[in-house]
Copies of this chain bind each other. A is one copy, B any other.
């Protein structure tokens, strides 16, 4: 990772060369670990649909989108220590303290994310430098205790409501340069009139969210407003440095429809419109023992779908 992009390619080529000579190990016999040690963890807020819908739910008296949202990528730093590999049971917060003194009766929601991970270099990184710095992509589930978050987030942002666990998929998929970046930027400056379809974006991921095995949502990544390259530039534009192992996430991926909701907060409209799962049970929020799995595919270089794997996790308070 730290050696940079030329070595990433060389190692990959060497592995491909060696692979036929190595014994096959069934995947079921393998225990997968966290694929890298997380240095700094940042989570963004790149979906206009998500930001607007969450604003409507949590701040109904004001416009959904904050005035700053289209001027710069909004994000926050999270707790690196609690990034865990897919499959880890998440011990969440006791759902008591914040509720006792505040807001809506809540519960956990989960949010599908993508994530990138970069190699070190000091100094500001422009959008064009993206491919040199981002090693690859994992899927991220940023578990959130919305009742706690809603109470604590003024004015310094989320803290206990998110710091207990963030799950990532165990396989890092190597990123490729993003040909649609300039297209996406052009779209924004042309008063948001798009001249290129969503298939033109390199990040045309199709996500699937399962709640206890029932597919509840299919968020479209291609509609994200801020691109990974813009976010990487934003992370360093103020002179801040980055390191090998830094992890940054897109933030919740939501489309305009309920069936494209990227967070359960939106899916159930903060619990007001519960969903029915395959076993007949009804959920407004996550319950103890619930399992959430997010998987994703993208168009591959040959037009074949490229799997990005999945991230799964079970909550227990």
Residues in chain A within 8 A of chain B (CB atoms): 39-40, 45, 55, 66, 68, 71-72, 74-82, 90-94, 97-98, 101-102, 145, 148, 151-161, 163-165, 234-235, 237-243, 246
Contacts and interface: CB of A to CB of B under 8 A. Distances in A.
Contact of A80 (B40, B97, B161, B239): B40
- Stoichiometry, as copies per complex, reads 2
Given A68-B151, A102-B68, A158 B157 contact: yes
- In order of increasing CB-CB distance, the 9 nearest A-B pairs are A157-B157, A93-B238, A91-B239, A76-B156, A77-B77, A156-B157, A160-B238, A163-B240, A164-B239
Given A90-B239, A165-B239, A165-B240, 5 more contacts: A66-B155, A81-B240, A93-B239, A153-B157, A160-B234
24 contacts: A39-B80, A40-B79, A40-B80, A68-B102, A68-B152, A71-B102, A72-B98, A76-B76, A76-B77, A77-B77, A77-B159, A81-B242, A82-B240, A82-B241, A92-B238, A93-B237, A93-B239, A148-B238, A155-B157, A156-B157, A160-B238, A163-B238, A164-B239, A165-B239
Nearest to A245: B81
Nearest to A241: B81
Contacts of A243: 81
Nearest to A92: B239
A76 to B, nearest CB: 4
A297 to B, nearest CB: 29
A34 to B, nearest CB: 13
B163 A81 contact: no
A18 B79 CA distance: 39
Contact of A153 (B155, B159, B246): B155
B157 A97 contact: no
A91 B243 CA distance: 17
A91 to B, nearest CB: 4
Contacts of A155: 55, 66, 74, 153, 157
A98 B152 CA distance: 26
